[in-house]
Protein backbone atom coordinates (compact mmCIF):
# COMPACT_ATOMS: atom_id res chain seq x y z
CA UNK A 1 0.00 0.00 0.00
CA UNK A 2 1.39 3.37 -1.01
CA UNK A 3 0.57 6.45 1.13
CA UNK A 4 0.69 9.79 -0.60
CA UNK A 5 1.45 12.77 1.64
CA UNK A 6 1.81 16.40 0.71
CA UNK A 7 1.02 17.67 -2.73
CA UNK A 8 -1.71 20.01 -3.85
CA UNK A 9 -5.00 19.97 -1.89
CA UNK A 10 -8.02 22.20 -2.44
CA UNK A 11 -8.15 24.91 0.25
CA UNK A 12 -4.64 24.19 1.58
CA UNK A 13 -1.90 26.78 1.99
CA UNK A 14 -1.85 30.40 3.07
CA UNK A 15 -4.45 31.74 0.60
CA UNK A 16 -6.65 33.08 3.39
CA UNK A 17 -3.76 35.08 4.83
CA UNK A 18 -2.67 36.68 1.55
CA UNK A 19 -5.91 36.61 -0.51
CA UNK A 20 -4.10 34.82 -3.36
CA UNK A 21 -2.51 31.43 -4.05
CA UNK A 22 0.87 30.75 -2.43
CA UNK A 23 3.90 28.81 -3.63
CA UNK A 24 6.48 26.75 -1.77
CA UNK A 25 9.96 28.28 -1.88
CA UNK A 26 13.19 27.08 -0.32
CA UNK A 27 15.23 29.77 1.43
CA UNK A 28 18.38 29.68 3.57
CA UNK A 29 17.56 29.01 7.23
CA UNK A 30 19.45 32.13 8.28
CA UNK A 31 17.01 34.31 6.26
CA UNK A 32 13.66 32.77 7.39
CA UNK A 33 12.96 35.35 10.12
CA UNK A 34 13.88 38.24 7.82
CA UNK A 35 11.56 36.96 5.09
CA UNK A 36 8.69 36.36 7.53
CA UNK A 37 9.09 39.92 8.86
CA UNK A 38 9.13 41.30 5.32
CA UNK A 39 5.91 39.44 4.45
CA UNK A 40 4.22 40.57 7.67
CA UNK A 41 5.13 44.21 7.03
CA UNK A 42 4.30 44.20 3.33
CA UNK A 43 0.89 42.56 3.65
CA UNK A 44 -1.80 44.99 2.55
CA UNK A 45 -3.77 46.14 5.59
CA UNK A 46 -7.54 46.38 5.58
CA UNK A 47 -7.39 49.30 7.96
CA UNK A 48 -4.76 51.99 7.62
CA UNK A 49 -5.80 54.26 10.48
CA UNK A 50 -2.97 53.67 12.96
CA UNK A 51 0.65 54.48 12.09
CA UNK A 52 2.19 53.71 15.49
CA UNK A 53 1.41 53.09 19.16
CA UNK A 54 3.72 54.34 21.90
CA UNK A 55 3.48 53.80 25.65
CA UNK A 56 3.41 57.08 27.55
CA UNK A 57 6.45 57.68 29.73
CA UNK A 58 5.69 60.81 31.75
CA UNK A 59 9.07 60.89 33.46
CA UNK A 60 9.76 64.42 32.27
CA UNK A 61 7.96 67.18 34.09
CA UNK A 62 7.66 70.52 32.34
CA UNK A 63 5.67 73.25 34.02
CA UNK A 64 4.03 75.53 31.48
CA UNK A 65 2.74 78.95 32.56
CA UNK A 66 -1.06 79.04 32.79
CA UNK A 67 -2.74 82.40 32.28
CA UNK A 68 -5.25 83.14 35.00
CA UNK A 69 -7.87 84.48 32.56
CA UNK A 70 -9.60 82.74 29.69
CA UNK A 71 -8.87 84.05 26.20
CA UNK A 72 -11.81 85.54 24.34
CA UNK A 73 -12.30 84.37 20.78
CA UNK A 74 -13.94 87.68 19.85
CA UNK A 75 -12.60 91.04 20.99
CA UNK A 76 -9.25 91.12 22.80
CA UNK A 77 -9.22 91.76 26.52
CA UNK A 78 -6.49 93.66 28.40
CA UNK A 79 -3.42 91.45 28.81
CA UNK A 80 -2.22 90.53 32.27
CA UNK A 81 1.44 90.86 33.11
CA UNK A 82 1.54 87.90 35.45
CA UNK A 83 0.88 84.19 35.54
CA UNK A 84 -1.00 82.78 38.49
CA UNK A 85 0.16 79.15 38.31
CA UNK A 86 1.75 76.51 36.08
CA UNK A 87 0.32 73.42 34.42
CA UNK A 88 2.03 70.05 34.05
CA UNK A 89 0.83 68.58 30.72
CA UNK A 90 1.33 65.03 32.03
CA UNK A 91 -1.14 65.76 34.83
CA UNK A 92 -3.48 67.44 32.38
CA UNK A 93 -3.53 64.71 29.69
CA UNK A 94 -2.81 61.47 31.59
CA UNK A 95 -5.17 60.05 34.19
CA UNK A 96 -3.76 56.51 34.31
CA UNK A 97 -0.07 56.34 33.38
CA UNK A 98 0.15 52.54 33.09
CA UNK A 99 -2.81 52.38 30.68
CA UNK A 100 -2.12 55.44 28.51
CA UNK A 101 -0.66 55.28 25.01
CA UNK A 102 -0.03 57.73 22.19
CA UNK A 103 -1.42 56.52 18.85
CA UNK A 104 -0.30 58.24 15.65
CA UNK A 105 -3.02 58.54 12.98
CA UNK A 106 -2.36 57.34 9.43
CA UNK A 107 -5.63 58.04 7.58
CA UNK A 108 -8.41 60.59 7.12
CA UNK A 109 -11.22 58.26 8.20
CA UNK A 110 -11.95 60.50 11.23
CA UNK A 111 -11.38 63.85 9.46
CA UNK A 112 -14.84 65.26 10.29
CA UNK A 113 -14.17 64.63 13.99
CA UNK A 114 -11.10 66.87 13.73
CA UNK A 115 -8.58 64.01 13.50
CA UNK A 116 -6.07 64.25 10.64
CA UNK A 117 -3.07 62.27 9.41
CA UNK A 118 -0.09 62.53 11.81
CA UNK A 119 -2.28 63.73 14.71
CA UNK A 120 -1.43 62.00 17.96
CA UNK A 121 -4.24 60.51 20.03
CA UNK A 122 -4.00 60.07 23.78
CA UNK A 123 -5.63 56.68 24.37
CA UNK A 124 -6.58 55.38 27.83
CA UNK A 125 -7.08 51.61 27.97
CA UNK A 126 -8.55 51.72 31.50
CA UNK A 127 -11.71 53.60 30.45
CA UNK A 128 -14.82 51.63 29.53
CA UNK A 129 -15.99 52.62 26.05
CA UNK A 130 -19.45 54.16 25.79
CA UNK A 131 -21.80 55.08 22.94
CA UNK A 132 -20.24 57.68 20.60
CA UNK A 133 -16.75 57.50 22.16
CA UNK A 134 -13.89 57.60 19.69
CA UNK A 135 -12.04 54.34 20.18
CA UNK A 136 -9.04 52.38 18.95
CA UNK A 137 -10.26 48.91 18.00
CA UNK A 138 -8.35 45.71 17.21
CA UNK A 139 -10.16 43.87 14.38
CA UNK A 140 -8.75 40.66 12.92
CA UNK A 141 -5.15 41.55 13.88
CA UNK A 142 -5.28 45.18 12.73
CA UNK A 143 -5.97 48.51 14.46
CA UNK A 144 -8.52 51.11 13.43
CA UNK A 145 -9.78 54.39 14.93
CA UNK A 146 -13.52 55.03 14.70
CA UNK A 147 -16.55 56.28 16.66
CA UNK A 148 -18.26 53.50 18.62
CA UNK A 149 -22.02 53.28 18.04
CA UNK A 150 -23.99 51.11 20.47
CA UNK A 151 -27.58 50.25 19.56
CA UNK A 152 -29.44 48.14 22.07
CA UNK A 153 -27.89 45.58 24.37
CA UNK A 154 -25.79 43.62 21.87
CA UNK A 155 -25.52 45.56 18.61
CA UNK A 156 -22.57 47.85 18.04
CA UNK A 157 -20.63 49.07 15.02
CA UNK A 158 -17.91 51.59 14.14
CA UNK A 159 -18.68 54.86 12.39
CA UNK A 160 -16.16 56.57 10.15
CA UNK A 161 -16.24 60.36 10.39
CA UNK A 162 -15.54 60.85 6.69
CA UNK A 163 -18.03 59.85 3.95
CA UNK A 164 -15.17 58.54 1.78
CA UNK A 165 -14.53 55.72 4.30
CA UNK A 166 -16.93 52.87 5.09
CA UNK A 167 -18.47 52.23 8.48
CA UNK A 168 -17.53 48.87 10.00
CA UNK A 169 -20.27 46.40 10.90
CA UNK A 170 -18.98 43.29 12.62
CA UNK A 171 -19.44 39.79 11.23
CA UNK A 172 -19.97 36.55 13.16
CA UNK A 173 -16.67 35.01 14.20
CA UNK A 174 -14.71 38.23 13.72
CA UNK A 175 -12.12 38.97 16.41
CA UNK A 176 -12.94 42.44 17.77
CA UNK A 177 -11.48 44.15 20.86
CA UNK A 178 -12.07 47.76 21.91
CA UNK A 179 -8.43 48.47 22.71
CA UNK A 180 -8.81 51.93 24.27
CA UNK A 181 -10.76 55.18 24.40
CA UNK A 182 -9.38 58.36 22.83
CA UNK A 183 -9.29 61.10 25.47
CA UNK A 184 -7.35 63.87 23.67
CA UNK A 185 -6.16 64.76 20.18
CA UNK A 186 -2.73 66.39 20.00
CA UNK A 187 -2.30 68.28 16.75
CA UNK A 188 -0.13 71.01 15.36
CA UNK A 189 -1.97 74.03 14.00
CA UNK A 190 1.22 75.31 12.36
CA UNK A 191 1.99 73.87 8.94
CA UNK A 192 5.17 71.84 8.82
CA UNK A 193 7.74 72.56 6.14
| Domains of the chain, residue spans | 47-186
Per-residue confidence band for 175, with pLDDT thresholds at 50, 70 and 90: confident
Q: For all residues of the chain together, what is the average pLDDT?
A: 77
Dist CA 103 CA 55 (whole Å): 9
The share of the chain scoring above pLDDT 90, in percent, equals 30
CB atoms within 10 A of CB 75: 5
Q: What is the mean pLDDT of residues 77-81?
A: 52
Catalytic site residues? Answer: 109, 146
Give pLDDT tens digits for 13-49: 444 455 566 777 787 887 777 777 767 666 554 666 7
Cα→Cα distances 140→73, 182, 190, Å: 45, 20, 36
Q: What is the model's pLDDT at position 72? A: 58
Q: pLDDT tens across 110-163, in order?
A: 999 999 998 999 999 999 999 999 999 988 888 899 999 999 877 899 999 999
Q: Which fold has domain 47-186?
A: Umud Fragment, subunit A (2.10.109)
Cα 125–130–135 angle (5° rounding)?
50
Amino acid sequence: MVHQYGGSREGAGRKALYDEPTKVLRVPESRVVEIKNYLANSKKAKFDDVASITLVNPSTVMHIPLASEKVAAGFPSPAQDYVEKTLDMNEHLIKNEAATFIVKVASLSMRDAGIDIDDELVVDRSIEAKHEDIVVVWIDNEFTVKRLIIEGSNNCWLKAENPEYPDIHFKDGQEVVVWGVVTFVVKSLKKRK
